[in-house]
Each structure stands twice: as C-alpha cells, then as structure tokens.
Amino acid sequence: MEPTDAFGARLRAALHRHGSLCVGIDPHPQLLAAWGLTDDVAGLAAFADICVEAFAGRVALVKPQVAFFEAYGAAGLAVLERTVAALRAADTLVLADAKRGDIGSTMAAYARAWLGDGPLVADAVTLSPYLGFDALAPALQVARARGRGVFVLAATSNPEAIAVQQAVVGAGCTVAQSIVDAAAARNADTATLGSIGVVVGATVSDAPDLHALNGPILLPGVGYQGAGPAEVRRLAGDLPGVLPSVSRELLRAGPGVSQLQAAADRIGAAFGFLPT
C-alpha cells in the first residue's frame, strides 16, 4: 500500500478540494500575441506569471506544456522552473507535460530531472511507453520513492497513433490496452488511488477499458479540440481520478486573471468537474 503522501493520495485530496479540472499552461505564440505579449522570454514569463496568479490554489492540477518553454532555450527553462516552483509553493499539484521516454541510464536521468529533487521537479510527469512499458522502470521507481506520479501515454487522439496504439498483441489485446493493464498492475497494491496514471485523448473513438486502472486518467482534448461532457462520460463514466484537461479553450479568455478564473469556473460547472 502506498503512503498517504504518495501522489495518488495527494491528487485525490486535491480533487475533493478543487474539482477535477486540469488546466494547461500552453504559451503558444498565437496566445502570446492574443494576450498582447511579445514572442520572447519576457512575454513567456509574463504569460506564466498570469497563469500562476489565476490558477494557483484554485484547481486540482496544473499542466505546463514543457515544449513551449524549451523553445526559448535555457532562459525558457528558467521560466518553467520558476513557474513550477511558484505553483507548488501555493500547494498546487503540477504535472510536467514532457512526454519523456527512453531506456536505461537515459530514462534514469529523465526520472531524476522531473521526479527527483532537482530544479525542474514536478509532482508528476507525462511519459511515453513506446520503447516498452518496462523501460519506464527507472521513472516508476523514483516516483514511488519520492511520492511523485506519472501519466503514461496510452491512447492519444492524433490519427498517426492508430497504427501503433490499436495494433493487436497477445490474445487480442491492443497495444493501448496493454499499457493500461501494465499501469493497473502497478496500482494493484493501492487502497485508494494509485500514482500511475494514463493519458487517453478525450476524442478517441476506440478507447481502452479503464475500469481496472485504479489510477488517475488524464483526458486532454476538452473544449478547443472538440470533446464535451458526453465524450468524457463515454470514456470514463464515474471512475475515480478522472482529470479532463483544458488549455486553449480556457486560456483564450486571458490575459485578465479574473477572466481566466471565471472561464475555469464556467468550464468546470459545464462539465460537472466541481469539488465534492
């Protein structure tokens, strides 16, 4: 059984306090322009600061998209470090959307960077299992030891993924289902909510069975990409730990802090993602 300070336990508490909406920080160049900000590190920092002010202490999980910070080099990563630190200092859980995946010592280095005690450490990180689920072992070990979490890509909504994720392996099981099952096996000793989650696109038509997961389920694609309450219910029903993720649909309400907060409240209410 995992300790009470494990990521799954902390996430479950955050869901009760704030509802289940996951808010992305995605500083697209188009959003920077729409907010009247410059497409440089100064604009990036201003965008991130506004998001921290708007969402810290108000939502269950905040998900910075790492690539948009990496695009500005070392200075952009410094902004990411400050953003993650500010959110965590406000007792807000942070999921680094880095989609890391590799083997051996390289995977161990990724685990140390995002789940250890370094300057980029978050409460959880997204991982790609497509070099083999067991190749993620270094990250899973660090996550368990440090009370962190991971969200493993299982069924993404991009059309290019179908050939791989819907391929049939073993006894008629799809690759996507095998990933969910592997995550479920690692959550089996957890009494409440495990710390090994999966990512399933909210617009996926042929989703894996999630009922045995006993872990968090991140559902990107809400709002801007077309998924609504019906899609969320179809995929996850009343399973615990469901986290519909919204980014651009919400962020386009900015740059005003109050407008962003109102948009988060409105989307949460429309989808029923409210505190319990």
Q: Is 61 exposed, middle or buried (0-12, 13-18, 19+ CB in 10 A)?
A: buried
In contact, 115 and 142? CB cutoff 8 Å: yes
**Among 272, 252, 261, 245, residue whose Cα is nearest residue 64:** 245
Q: Which of 227, 214, 206 is nearest to 273 (CA)?
A: 227
Active-site residue, 99 included: yes
Peptide bond into 255 cis (omega under 30): yes
How many residues comprise the chain?
276
The catalytically annotated residue of 28, 99, 112, 146 is 99
Partners of 244 in the β-ladder: 219
Known catalytic residues are 99
